[in-house]
Amino acid sequence: MTQRPWLAHYPSGVEHELVATPFRHMPDLLSKATTDYGDQIAFTQCMPNGMNGSLTYNQVDELSDAFAAYLREELTLEAGDRVAVQMPNCLAFPIVAFGIFKAGLVLVNTNPLYTASEMTHQFSDSGAKALVIIDMFADRLPEVVSATGIQTVVTVRIAEFFPPVVAGVIRLVQKYWNRSLPKIEVEHTSFQTALSRGRELMGRSSSYLDGVDLESIAALQYTGGTTGVSKGAMLTHGNLVSNTMQVLQMLGESIRPGKEIVLTALPLYHIFAFTVNLIGFYHMGARNILVPSPRPPSNLKRAFENYKITWTTGVNTLFNALLNERWFVEHPPKHLIGSAAGGMALHESVAERWREVTGTPIVEGYGLTETSPVLTFNPFGGEVKDGTIGIPVPSTDVRCVKDDGTDAGVGEPGEIVARGPQIMKGYWQRDDETANAMLDGWFRTGDIAEMDADGYFTIVDRKKDMVLVSGFNVFPNEVEERIASMPGVNEVGVVGIPDDKTGEAVRAYVVANDPRPTEAEIIAHCRESLAAYKVPKSVRFVDELPKSPIGKILRRELRAEAVTSETASIETQGRELS
């Protein structure tokens, strides 16, 4: 039997196992929120200049009903068909996502910044028949539509549901000032036309959800493709409902029903914001402040100024960026209760400074696309251990496993494997990949961690990111944490580069502020607290680090840059010698 030392550290009132859910599927959960909070504002979209629009719970419910009718009656899509969604955070997003669920269809979340080839892969692999896309990125459609099974394109404007005058101003700026609206050269339907048609067709059928239950697929959530070709994780209605309730249990009474205002800066198409912000806070009657893009971080200024933000979610780079903004440090949010971090390791130095600046807790959780996503969380109202990813959420077992398949001991590193109701059904049309990801019923995460005696887990690093120096394992997270604690260091990414003597050597890429530390100072700082083989052999100063859409530093791109630069250096030396 799996040991669960973490159960002793659950806050009072947190059940060890999930109570049986009263919801048959996602639309049931959404309907409960409408009943409880109908006239309250559910979503407010805030632009960088403060222009905004809002929708109530009742409006979201009615509009998503209309969109469901459009999908099933006008487009004649059938239960289980896939609909791709390619939008930034905006008011149309929850309407579309909830409408897809209500129609008994499968949502395929897609990064709006994807290239035509990435779109083609994802739409072809998923077999999506319809696409809802923000019109700013419609220039890729001719190439994509002709190469996929997309039959219908619905285009969305960034200022949908804004007051008419405000929406008109934004449209004019996009069209004539920013020139960010390409000509749409494929047959398409505007979102408002689709909704209008859906309203006309509502009531023709009440059976869209016949046969849909907790085992039915609700979404295909594609992995980032960091380990190869991007794969679609099949997340069921049960996965999403369960994980929503697991997270809310761990937050306990710190979430006040109907009273919270949560800042959503992370993209809703990413599983972290999708489950926690879009579904979890919606279920609790929160007002969700949607920011289309958090870059630069000044885009968040008006949201913090204009709304009494009580909760934020983000990744380490987002919190760190805010802490480097003078306006944020000098006027931190007055109503903030707490913040939740995920997606990448939260540096202890960032967590400490966040608490100093805001006077509120920030806690780290952990999960993956395949786990809906949350597996572990530092519980609010319980013991929070900085530097750890917390303890498993209710009804979840987590172990650290060594290469030989045996359990790692307390404080000993091993690959995280997990099981629970939030684990995906499998990879879409990839039985072999599904089999490779499972170990006797446990999902293999590919992450290396250690568990302490209390059942708190600490991520050591990604298995694939580990650097091997003369046979010794070096985990980039540890080195990054040391460098990030230095004055003048804004961001840091650590990777391994080829080395003739040691196999691999550690290299740090640093984004620094003035006064900037020197390479020698950084190396000396690392030598004070790290074994010699972990100390960077070289440091490169850069203007910015490559990041994913949620702000996770992309070490694979740093490694590729390192190999390219080293190859170029060798070729230059060769030409000089000849």
User: What percent of the chain stands above pLDDT 90?
Assistant: 75
The whole-number pLDDT of residue 575 equals: 46
Q: What is the mean pLDDT of residues 357-375?
A: 94
pLDDT at 226 over 50: no
* Interaxial angle between packed helices 92-102 and 26-37, expressed in degrees from 0 to 180 and rounded to the nearest 10: 130
Question: What's the Rg (C-alpha) of the chain?
Answer: 24
pLDDT at 398 over 60: yes
Residue-level pLDDT at 471: 63
Report the pLDDT averaged over residues 91-104: 98
Res. 111 pLDDT band, cuts 50 70 90:
confident
Average pLDDT over residues 355-367: 94
Tokens of 191: 């979102």
| pLDDT of res. 531 | 80
Q: Which residues contact 195 (CB under 8 A, 6 or more apart)?
A: 63, 66, 67, 70, 95
Which 3-state string (H, E, C) describes 400-464?
Answer: EECCCCCECCCCCCEEEEEECCCCCCEECCCHHHHHHHEECCEEEEEEEEEECCCCCEEEEEEHH
What mean pLDDT do residues 357-376 have?
A: 94
C-alpha 324/C-alpha 514 separation (Å) is 12
pLDDT given at position 571: 45
Residue 1: per-residue pLDDT: 53
Q: What is the pLDDT of residue 252?
A: 84
- Residue range 3-30: mean pLDDT, rounded: 92
Average pLDDT over residues 293-314: 96
Q: Is the dihedral of CA 425, 426, 427, 430 positive or negative?
A: negative
Residues 472-481 have a mean pLDDT of: 82
Give me 32's structure tokens. Answer: 């409960």
pLDDT in tens, 495-511: 999 887 777 899 999 99
- Residue length, the chain? 578
Q: Residues of 110-142 as b/e, b for ≥16 C-beta within 10 angstroms?
A: bbbebeeebbbbbbebbbbbbbbbbbbbbebbe
Q: Over the chain, what is the mean pLDDT?
A: 92
pLDDT reported for residue 465? 84
Residue type, 319: F
Q: Peptide bond preceding 294: is omega within 30 degrees of 0, i.e. cis? A: no
Q: pLDDT tens digits, residue range 437-476?
A: 998 899 999 899 999 999 999 988 777 787 888 767 787 8
Residue 46 has pLDDT above 50, yes or no: yes
* Residue, of 504 and 246, whose pLDDT is higher: 246
- pLDDT at position 538 is 94
Least trusted range by pLDDT, from 331-335, 433-437, 440-444, 473-477: 473-477
More confidently predicted of 446 and 33: 33
377 vs 530, residue with greater confidence: 377
List, for residues 59-73, the tens digit of each pLDDT value. Answer: 999 999 999 999 999
DSSP 270: S
The confidence score (pLDDT) of residue 86 equals 97
386 pLDDT tier (thresholds 50, 70, 90): confident
How confident is residue 224, by pLDDT bands cut at 50, 70 and 90? low
Q: Would you say 87 and 96 are in contact if contact means Cβ atoms under 8 Å apart?
A: yes
d(CA 536, CA 527): 9
Res 315 pLDDT > 90: no
- Distance between CA 568 and CA 391 in Å, rounded? 46
Residue 186, pLDDT > 80, answer: yes
- The pLDDT tens digits for 520-578 are 999 999 998 888 889 999 999 999 999 887 788 888 899 888 877 765 554 444 444 44
* Mean pLDDT confidence for 373-388: 90
pTM: predicted TM-score of the whole model, two decimal places = 0.86
Query: Buried b / exposed e across 505-523, counting CB within 10 Å, b at 16+?
Result: bbbbbbbbeeeebeeeebb
Considering 112-126, 299-313, 336-350, the range whose residues carry the highest mean pLDDT is 299-313
For 282-293, what is the mean pLDDT? Answer: 97
Question: What residue ranges define each of the domains in the chain, with the CATH number in brackets?
Answer: 56-213 (3.40.50.980), 466-577 (3.30.300.30)
Residue 250's H or E segment, with its range, is helix 237-251
Tell me the backbone φ, ψ of residue 455, rounded to 5 degrees. Answer: 90, 15
- Spell out where 174-298 has E strands: 189-190, 217-222, 232-236, 261-264, 287-290
